[in-house]
Amino acid sequence: MSVRSDPDARAPGGSAGRLNTGLERLSEWLTKARAAERLALAVGVSALIHNALFFGLSAGFKPANPALLESVQPALDVVLLHRPTGAKPLKAEVLAQAANEGGGQTVEARVARSPQAVIAQPA
């Protein structure tokens, strides 16, 4: 008669003995495994956890209402001026850092020939 080795018979608590044996095997494998094998295991476990969290949490979300994402206010036009004038325009169409009456309203397309004016800094 041969006697079989049963982990449940040796360890008190039945399934807890199997868990301890599994943890011991994992601990032994981790100490003997190469760095590449440990890295592969860590990446695999991390991917499983992230997928479980992503798909588990995203199942409860509803898509956003597109009406809530629409802008209530119109877009703001920004105009940078090369040479401000002293006179204020009668009817301003856009906001700028200074008044430039009649600037940029020519019929033909023109490109500015000089860069933006450099403002002298006080010493």
What are the domain boundaries of the chain?
7-58
* Overall pTM > 0.75: no
Q: Tens digit of pLDDT for each residue in 60-106?
A: 777 777 777 776 777 766 666 666 667 776 776 766 666 655 555 55
Q: Are 88 and 101 in contact (CB under 8 A)?
A: yes
Q: Tens digit of pLDDT for each residue in 17-69?
A: 677 888 888 888 888 888 888 889 899 999 999 998 888 777 777 777 777 77
Q: Residue 11: pLDDT band by 50, 70, 90 thresholds? A: very low
Mean pLDDT, rounded, of the chain? 71
